[in-house]
Amino acid sequence: MGRPVTVFIVEDHPVVTEGVASWIHSDPGQRVRLVQTARDLSGLRDVPPEAADVVILDLELSGELVTDQIPGLVSAGYRVVAFSGHSDPVIVMETLDHGAHAYVSKEEGREHLVEAVLAAAADRPYVTRSQARAILDDQRPARPALSEQERQALLLWFQGMSKASVARRMAISENTVRQYISRARAKYAATGRTAPSKDALLARAIEDGVIKPAEIMQYESFARAAAARPSLGAPDS
């Protein structure tokens, strides 16, 4: 097993910080390690992005929403998992549009926060119930049409496959896979709904019904799946 994923918590309520820390410490595999906490974003000034794999960010600090700070954090190299008491779909979508890897409500934090952090560190999408509801309820217009090849490439990529693996699965070149993904981004950008990150593109695809939340599952290679199955005629162990 590799090193634990490191996290930095930005939360202005100590009792919430203590709760999140307890979820991290109680993870059976000890897959996440808390390296630092702060009560506001100024605490990140002396913490370079490489010092923490993921920032768990409370969206409301000192009574003010800080969603507009997320693009700056993402541009600086931080992976952000939003952790919030808000469930308004507009706030959820704004948070995802700004580049957050995932949106975890405080009521579902115990169940999802550690897994969302692990997914963010691995650049894998992670969809919580609150996030899925917001995406599916979003009724904004201007939904571009994606081809079936573009949809298939996005789906496999969202499931955690590398672009090279997607190319092998679809029997196309890796460059073609990149073109499909770039074309999907370009189509959204042309309608004014940019998708600069993988998670933002996933949000757009689910929002438009191109990808269903239930389709986003961890990819398992053919070789691994075959190895897990017993060989025909093999003696019982």
Q: Is 107 part of a structural domain of the chain?
A: yes
DSSP H stretches of helix in the chain: 14-25, 70-76, 89-97, 109-121, 129-137, 148-158, 163-170, 174-190, 198-207, 222-228
Q: Is 186 part of a structural domain of the chain?
A: yes
Q: Is 233 part of a structural domain of the chain?
A: no
Condensed to tens digits (0 to 9), the pLDDT of residues 207-229 reads 777 888 888 765 444 444 444 44
Residues 77 and 125 in one domain: yes
Residues 179 and 117 in one domain: no
Residues 83 and 152 in one domain: no
Query: Is pLDDT of 47 > 90?
Result: no
The model's confidence at residue 32, banded by pLDDT at 50, 70 and 90, is very high
* Residue found by looking up tokens 């009521």 in the block: 107
Question: How many domains would you assign to the chain?
Answer: 2
Cβ atoms of 97 and 200 within 8 Å: the answer is: yes
Q: Is 102 part of a structural domain of the chain?
A: yes
Query: Is pLDDT of 233 > 60?
Result: no
Least confident piece of the model among 4-13, 44-53, 173-182, 189-198: 189-198
Query: Is pLDDT of 199 > 90?
Result: no
Residues 44 and 85 in one domain: yes
The per-residue pLDDT for 221 is 44
The per-residue pLDDT for 133 is 79
- pTM of full prediction above 0.75: no
Query: What CATH number has the domain bearing residue 94?
Result: 3.40.50.2300
Give the CA angle between residues 56, 58, 59 to the nearest 5°: 125
Higher pLDDT, 237 or 212: 212
Residues 115 and 157 in one domain: no
The model's confidence at residue 65, banded by pLDDT at 50, 70 and 90, is very high
Q: Is 236 part of a structural domain of the chain?
A: no
Residues 57 and 153 in one domain: no
Condensed to tens digits (0 to 9), the pLDDT of residues 87-112 reads 888 898 888 878 788 899 998 888 89
Residues 210 and 100 in one domain: no
Percent of the chain with pLDDT over 90: 37
Say if strands 60-61 and 64-65 run parallel, antiparallel, or are unpaired.
antiparallel
Query: What CATH number has the domain bearing residue 176?
Result: 1.10.10
The per-residue pLDDT for 6 is 95
Q: Is 180 part of a structural domain of the chain?
A: yes
Residues 63 and 155 in one domain: no
How deeply is 114 buried, as exposed, middle or buried, from its count of CB atoms within 10 A (0-12, 13-18, 19+)? buried
The model's confidence at residue 139, banded by pLDDT at 50, 70 and 90, is low
Cα-Cα end-to-end distance for the chain: 26
The Cα–Cα gap between 93 and 96 comes to 5
The per-residue pLDDT for 217 is 65
- Domain edge (last residue) among 86, 109, 137: 137
Domain membership of residue 194 as a residue range = 148-223
